[in-house]
Structure 1
Amino acid sequence: MIPPPEEPEQGQPAEEPEQGQPAEESDEEPPAEETEEEPPAEESEEEPPAEESEEEPPAEESEPKRLPPTQPARMKPEEDEEELPRMTLLEHLDELRRRILRTLIVVVVTFFGCFAFAEEIYTLLAKPIAPHVDQLAFDGVADPFIVYVKVALLASVFVTAPYLVAQLWGFVSPGLYRREKRYAIPFIFFGSFFFLGGGAFGYFVALPFAVEFLVNMGLNANWDADIRIERYLSFAVNVLLGLAVMFQLPIIIFMLSQLGVVTPQFLMRHFRWAVLIIIILSAAITPTPDVVNMTIVAGPTLLLYLLGVGASALVQRRRKRREEEVEEEWAE
């Protein structure tokens, strides 16, 4: 008889299965395979975010292509607007203060130079009244000194006229576009020209006519002429400086047209009011009731007003031409 197989005792390891018994080995293999498949599962979970990160840059690159079609047509005007500096009210006041201080320094320095020739300058200013009065009088001890100071100050203003106009341009130019700042040299030249031209017109034309009319009115009434030096000088200064400022009318109209404040249509539509204002100012500069002297002052001023209207029309034409060029560039 074959003896039965002995059972293993407790604490002894079981015998290894013989060949031909794969049942037990197949039971242990699946857990090993499951542990090997876990890392690929983790890699597969991480792959989708990597694919999404690769697709993001093309989406960002495609965003700049969605620009509105109206931006390229306005590139130049927008660039000019961006270049305009922004200044607060205090900064404007500080800039104005510095400009005025520089102007005063230059005028004062020029004043001392003109004061050395005050007597010669006074002789020139007294020529319009010299044929009608033998000698001017003064009734104050300090009158001769005051007269020389006024004469030197008046001369220094006309001598420094180009610098004054340049300072005015320097104060206004920060509010202009880059294409408008190229008018600096023409503005300074014509501003100085009209200022000096107004003073010359007052000295050679308006002042002699006004003095002759006013003095002869008293002499024809058999009155003795006892004209004070200071009063005559004040009258002459009002005429010369008043006309010098009034002759700036074309420059003022041109600048207002550049800023878009006035147009030639607006100026011609209010031409009657302009004539009335010019006549009132002419009467204030030369206080004579006759039509001749008022016409002498008002006539050239009206011509300058019409010259300013022409300058405004030129500005409007150039603005329309520039707008048409921008539209053509956009159409292309």
Structure 2
Amino acid sequence: MAQKNINEMSFLDHLEDLRWHLIRATLAILVGGIVAFLMSDFLFDTIIFGPKKMTFPTYQWLCKVSQFVGVDTTFCLDEFPFRIQNRTMAGQFSAHIWTAITAGFVIAFPYVIYQLWRFISPGLHPNERKHSRGFIIISSFLFFIGVLFGYYIVTPLSINFLGTYVVSSEISNEIDLSSYISLVRSSALASGLIFELPILVYFLTKIGLVTPEILKKYRKFALVLVLILSAIITPPDIASQIIVAIPILVLYQVSIYISKMVVKKEKRKTSKHVKSS
């Protein structure tokens, strides 16, 4: 579709433009998904079922820390006391498809963000576009850091707690395949999206919906929400919740700083415009 001047585009033109950006992003996710689908051994045996093995780096490190401080822990087990099973005819095939699509989204995330940027950038002033060139790199970096945090921290902590939790010796843990994969997928993707908080705050500040004062005013409420979120996505022990809460609180503080910088730039623009007029 030929690009038009942003001022000449009608509402339907904008919708058509958005449609093509979404199509390109979807195709990129599908291509990434196909690659992941064909690499099923690596995708499942190494990535998905990695946190189920006690040789996983996180367990090794936490085991050494526990031994150093002299605390008995389940991080030093030879293997987890549960096994994963599939109880539906199409369960493994469905798991293969959806896991590949999820991996495709992670792989294609920079291109998806690029298409989003292509859609919104015509509405920005040339100077704003110039100062926002690092948007794709920064947002992709934050997303991947968040995914790694979810995969190496949140996922193993959750599997370690839930996989070893028993209410009676009469019960054996036979974990359904979809349940296990859902935990790994949601932990990684949720963390990746949470780490996009500074980017979200940047744009919300640009359009005037958020200010540094609002972020500071509701910092106490944000702290409570972060602790609640940490309690939901991690085992109910203080150490795990603190491990998850700290980076989120750091991101919130960074978001306040970013919001301040945006407001300062907007004030400078306004003052220059007043002087020139």
Unaligned runs of 5+ in 1: 1-82
Q: Deviations over 1:211-268 (max 9, x none)?
A: 11112222x7433121122210011111111111111000111112222322111211
Q: Contact 2:51–2:156 (CA<8 Å) still a contact in 1?
A: yes
Give the C-alpha shift of residue 270 in structure 1.
Answer: 1.7
Q: Deviations over 1:280-299 (max 9, x none)?
A: 44444x16444443333332
Q: Contact 1:85–1:174 (CA<8 Å) still a contact in 2?
A: no
1:145 paired residue number: 93
| Residues 1:230 and 2:152 aligned together | no
CA distance in 1 between counterparts of 2:212 and 2:176 reads: 46
CA distance in 2 between counterparts of 1:128 and 1:317 reads: 45
Q: Which has the higher contact order (CA 8 A, sep 6+)?
A: 2
Q: Deviations over 1:173-211 (max 9, x none)?
A: 233222111244311001100111110001111111111
CA distance in 1 between counterparts of 2:244 and 2:40 reads: 28
CA distance in 1 between counterparts of 2:212 and 2:202 reads: 10
> Normalising by the residue count of structure 2, what TM-score does the alignment of the two structures yield?
0.80
2:32 paired residue number: 110
CA distance in 1 between counterparts of 2:208 and 2:227 reads: 27
2:258 paired residue number: 311
Q: Contact 1:84–1:174 (CA<8 Å) still a contact in 2?
A: yes
1:191 paired residue number: 139
CA distance in 2 between counterparts of 1:275 and 1:265 reads: 16
CA distance in 2 between counterparts of 1:133 and 1:196 reads: 31
Which of 136, 146, 166 is the matching residue for 2:114?
166
1:248 paired residue number: 196
Give the C-alpha shift of residue 120 in structure 1.
Answer: 1.1
> Normalising by the residue count of structure 1, what TM-score does the alignment of the two structures yield?
0.68
CA distance in 2 between counterparts of 1:87 and 1:308 reads: 33
User: Amino acid of the residue matched to residue 233 of structure 1?
Assistant: I
Listed as ranges, the matches of 1:1-332 within 5 Å are 85=7, 87-123=9-45, 124-131=47-54, 132-133=80-81, 135-218=83-166, 221-222=168-169, 223-284=171-232, 286=233, 288-329=235-276
User: Amino acid of the residue matched to residue 295 of structure 1?
Assistant: I
CA distance in 2 between counterparts of 1:283 and 1:90 reads: 45
2:62 paired residue number: none
SS in 2 for 1:139: coil
2:59 paired residue number: none
CA distance in 1 between counterparts of 2:133 and 2:244 reads: 28
Q: Which moved more, 1:309-318 or 1:194-203?
A: 309-318
Q: Contact 2:226–2:249 (CA<8 Å) still a contact in 1?
A: yes
Cα RMSD between the aligned structures? 2.3
Query: Kindly tell me: are residues 181 and 211 of structure 1, through their superposed partners in 2, closer, same or farther at Cα, counting changes over 3 Å?
Result: same
Q: Contact 1:194–1:244 (CA<8 Å) still a contact in 2?
A: yes
Give the C-alpha shift of residue 134 in structure 1.
Answer: 5.9
1:58 paired residue number: none
Q: Contact 2:157–2:234 (CA<8 Å) still a contact in 1?
A: no
| Larger Rg, first or second structure (1 or 2) | 1
Give identity over the alignment, percent. Answer: 28
Query: Kindly tell me: are residues 135 and 216 of structure 1, through their superposed partners in 2, closer, same or farther at Cα, counting changes over 3 Å?
Result: closer
CA distance in 1 between counterparts of 2:226 and 2:7 reads: 36
CA distance in 2 between counterparts of 1:275 and 1:89 reads: 40
SS in 2 for 1:250: helix
User: Amino acid of the residue matched to residue 51 of structure 2?
Assistant: P
Query: Kindly tell me: are residues 283 and 86 of structure 1, through their superposed partners in 2, closer, same or farther at Cα, counting changes over 3 Å?
Result: farther
Unaligned runs of 5+ in 2: 55-79
Q: Contact 1:84–1:177 (CA<8 Å) still a contact in 2?
A: no
Query: Kindly tell me: are residues 86 and 277 of structure 1, through their superposed partners in 2, closer, same or farther at Cα, counting changes over 3 Å?
Result: farther
Q: Contact 1:197–1:247 (CA<8 Å) still a contact in 2?
A: yes
CA distance in 1 between counterparts of 2:82 and 2:189 reads: 26
Count of aligned residue pairs for this structure pair: 246
